[in-house]
Amino acid sequence: MRGSTLQHISRVVVVLLSSVLSLPIALAQDAVRLGELESPVDRQALKAQETAGRDRLKILLENPVGTDIQLLRVNPDVVNEATDKLSVPVADGRWVSFQLRNYTAPTSPGNKGVENAAVKHIPAAYWFGDISPDDKGRAPAVPQSAFDTTSFIFLARRGESLRGQMVVNGRLYLLEDVGNGQHGLMATNTALELPCEVLENEPEAQQNAAKKVPVKSGTEAIHNISVLLVTTPATNQMINPYAMDIMTDEIELYNRLNNQGQGLSLNLIVVHKFVSGAKDSVFNGGKKILSDFRNSETEATKKVSELRDKHRADVVIVGARNVSSKEVTYQGARKNTAFFVFNITTPQSFLHGIGHLLGVRHVWKDGDLDFDPSYQHGYLTPVYEGKRYASIGFDPKDCTDANNCQYLYRYSTPKENYMYWPFGDAVHGDEIRRLNERAVEVENFYEGL
Ligand SMILES: [Zn+2]
């Protein structure tokens, strides 16, 4: 009798102990919260705070696509390789969980990054993940293991500050440090995006046509495109965040999204960062900035041209302030036109804009001219269950019903499906083929020189 009671007690102790012991494991599997919500404040009230001197709100308020902003007290420690699962609030009050795909430590020693004062740049730690399987609304026929381009998050940590972009069911949110110990998570409306300003290359004489370089075998070869990153006096004076950091983060996100197993392996590699004295004012904005760099019209841009040759940078990306479009660049740039004027107020446009420079056009519509090659366009699917899905090269202005087009944040290819149908069209929408072919040309701009 006594023996069986003891046995029972010991069993209870074992059960209790094992549940206590398993507790830390259960906690470790729970999502870590990005931070705590502050009381809601409307956009107008935030605008009034900015006018009254809270300058750090500008980074969000100046962005043309911004809508509601939720203030948060973030825990910057969540940007860590030990964070497997991260949960973030969205506009409807839900918290959405993301699973870690990729963590990158800062390039310089120390977990928090060390500032490089000369170019105003702080290396960041990056946390990149897509929606957690428990939180899906994942599309059918997308394997659990595949990266989900409808819902993902990209965070950059510099000290106690976070910056980031989050996409939930195609809706983009931007995260910035707005000072006073607060961060702002801003919902966006991509229908408010600025237009593109994309120039065509001048016709080339046949004998001067860009030499054809042999295409590397297979699509798996990684194409490394070297980038010279440049600021102007107007963007170099930015602090919190630095213009150089904004551009670096976009390039980092671009590289992450390009390497998710959809047949494109394209990396932008920043080979040099430079603080230029190039003109960037209301009288010398947009196309004039591009022209100044492209033609080395001033001493400041001559210097950039020398640096480009010295560092053999295939592409020059200029972070500028006086730009009234998403970007100013050339369509399918050649070596002498490979300049990209990055609009610092709408950094999320970089994903789309750099596609133009590399050779992607907006979606092809019935009756449009065929370019050579004809497949160099973005893609918009037919209506599937009441919705159409768009690739990165798609321009929101081509959406006939703004509520009905959802970005997938991936390039088109007829070789991959979305839902049960090919996400691309071999005749008019194969951005991955176009980019793989163009990347070989662009990475060889300095070949043999
Ligand atoms: Zn465009």
What pLDDT, on the 0 to 100 scale, is given for residue 10? Answer: 55
CA of 396 to the centre of ligand 1 (A): 9
CA of 398 to the centre of ligand 1 (A): 10
CA of 340 to the centre of ligand 1 (A): 13
CA of 325 to the centre of ligand 1 (A): 10
Region 190-216 average pLDDT: 75
CA of 182 to the centre of ligand 1 (A): 33
Region 135-158 average pLDDT: 78
Region 120-145 average pLDDT: 79
What pLDDT, on the 0 to 100 scale, is given for residue 397? Answer: 84
CA of 380 to the centre of ligand 1 (A): 14
SS (H, E, C) 30-55: CCEECEEECCCCCHHHHHHHHHCCCH
Tokens of 427: 């005749």
Query: Could you count the other beta carbons within 10 Å of the beta carbon of residue 446?
Result: 14
CA of 376 to the centre of ligand 1 (A): 13
CA of 361 to the centre of ligand 1 (A): 7
What pLDDT, on the 0 to 100 scale, is given for residue 26? Answer: 40
Report whether pLDDT(270) > 90.
yes
CA of 409 to the centre of ligand 1 (A): 14
Region 402-430 average pLDDT: 91
CA of 196 to the centre of ligand 1 (A): 5
259 pLDDT band (50/70/90 cuts)? confident
CA of 3 to the centre of ligand 1 (A): 79
CA of 383 to the centre of ligand 1 (A): 22
CA of 379 to the centre of ligand 1 (A): 13
Percentage, residues of the chain above pLDDT 90: 71
Report whether pLDDT(388) > 80.
yes
Of 27-31, 119-123, 369-373, 381-385, where does mean pLDDT reach its minimum?
Answer: 27-31
Tokens of 105: 């430590």
Region 289-299 average pLDDT: 98
The pTM (predicted TM-score) of the whole model is 0.89
> Cα–Cα distances in Å, from 7 out to 2, 16, 164?
8, 14, 56
What pLDDT, on the 0 to 100 scale, is given for residue 28? Answer: 44
Report whether pLDDT(220) > 50.
yes
312 pLDDT band (50/70/90 cuts)? very high
Region 389-417 average pLDDT: 88
What pLDDT, on the 0 to 100 scale, is given for residue 403? Answer: 65
CA of 270 to the centre of ligand 1 (A): 23
Report whether pLDDT(191) > 90.
no
Average pLDDT, the chain: 88
CA of 431 to the centre of ligand 1 (A): 13
CA of 419 to the centre of ligand 1 (A): 25
- Which residues neighbour 124 within 8 Å (Cβ) at sequence distance 6 or greater? 106, 113, 156, 157, 158, 163, 245, 248, 249, 252
Of 174-183, 279-288, 390-399, where does mean pLDDT reach its minimum?
Answer: 390-399
Region 14-21 average pLDDT: 46
CA of 89 to the centre of ligand 1 (A): 30
142 pLDDT band (50/70/90 cuts)? low
Of 117-126, 178-187, 404-413, where does mean pLDDT reach its minimum?
Answer: 117-126
Of 15-19, 21-25, 92-96, 291-295, where does mean pLDDT reach its minimum?
Answer: 21-25
CA of 215 to the centre of ligand 1 (A): 26
Q: What would the pLDDT profile of 56-71 be if each residue is shown by its tens digit?
A: 999 999 999 999 999 9
CA of 327 to the centre of ligand 1 (A): 8
CA of 349 to the centre of ligand 1 (A): 9
DSSP, collapsed to helix, strand or coil, labels residue 308 as helix
396 pLDDT band (50/70/90 cuts)? confident
CA of 155 to the centre of ligand 1 (A): 25
CA of 364 to the centre of ligand 1 (A): 12
Percentage, residues of the chain above pLDDT 70: 85
**Where do the CATH 3.40.390.10 domains begin and end in the chain?**
193-202+219-449
CA of 393 to the centre of ligand 1 (A): 7
Of 52-61, 264-273, 422-431, where does mean pLDDT reach its minimum?
Answer: 264-273
Q: What would the pLDDT profile of 100-117 be if each residue is shown by its tens digit?
A: 999 999 986 443 444 555
- Asked if residue 434 lies in contact with residue 440, where contact means CB atoms within 8 angstroms, the answer is no
CA of 422 to the centre of ligand 1 (A): 23
CA of 417 to the centre of ligand 1 (A): 24
What pLDDT, on the 0 to 100 scale, is given for residue 137? Answer: 59
Query: Could you count the other beta carbons within 10 Å of the beta carbon of residue 156?
Result: 28
What pLDDT, on the 0 to 100 scale, is given for residue 214? Answer: 53
CA of 194 to the centre of ligand 1 (A): 9
CA of 342 to the centre of ligand 1 (A): 13
Tokens of 134: 């428990």
CA of 329 to the centre of ligand 1 (A): 10
CA of 337 to the centre of ligand 1 (A): 17
Report whether pLDDT(40) > 60.
yes
CA of 435 to the centre of ligand 1 (A): 15
Tokens of 4: 């069986």
- Which residues neighbour 144 within 8 Å (Cβ) at sequence distance 6 or greater? 133, 138
CA of 350 to the centre of ligand 1 (A): 10
Region 254-277 average pLDDT: 91
What pLDDT, on the 0 to 100 scale, is given for residue 345? Answer: 98
Q: Rounded to an integer, what distance in angstroms lies between the CA atom of residue 362 and that of residue 344?
A: 22
What pLDDT, on the 0 to 100 scale, is given for residue 111? Answer: 38
What pLDDT, on the 0 to 100 scale, is given for residue 190? Answer: 87
**Could you tell me which CATH number the domain at 193-202+219-449 has?**
3.40.390.10
